[in-house]
Amino acid sequence: MLKFTQEHEWLKLEGDVATVGITTYAVEQLGDLVFVELPEVGATFSKNDDAATVESVKAASEVYCPLDGEIVEVNPAIVADPSLVNSDAQGAGWFFKLKLKNLGDVDGLLDEAAYKELTA
């Protein structure tokens, strides 16, 4: 199941762990990424905390933690090659995996139809 935030992060849920990245829409707004900084495994974040940083040829931007939780895995491939995010934002370009503190919080996020309406 995919969920989205108004800040253009996507989440793919598997049990109580969410794989998190930025949406194709966000990548299109940023342009070609040249740098990605990811959080440390074991770090805990609250919803809307700055969790990662991306820099593109246009601007630097924060990637927000979509929900409360703990980082259980990061994607080193996008640090080595930020263009992976541009080429496959909602696949190989994922940022981190977040063990959710409260699975019920997912219900407050946007579904795909609501996100498409937001970005139309």
Report residue 1 CA to chain centroid gap.
Answer: 15
Sign of torsion over alpha carbons 30, 61, 106, 11: positive
d(CA 55, CA 57): 7
pLDDT at 81: 98
Does residue 1 carry a pLDDT above 90?
no
CA–CA distance from 97 to each of 16, 86, 113 (Å)? Answer: 10, 19, 23
pLDDT, residue 33, reads 97
Cα 75 from chain centroid (whole Å): 11
Both tokens assigned to 52: 């990662």
4 within 8 A of 90, measured Cβ to Cβ = no
pLDDT in tens, 13-38: 999 999 999 999 999 999 999 999 99
* % of the chain exceeding 70 in pLDDT: 100
- pLDDT tens column, 28-79: 999 999 999 999 999 999 999 999 999 999 889 999 999 999 999 999 999 9
**Span 77-86, mean pLDDT?**
97
Q: What pLDDT is stored for residue 90 in this prediction?
A: 95
Gap between the Cα atoms of 119 and 12, Å rounded: 19
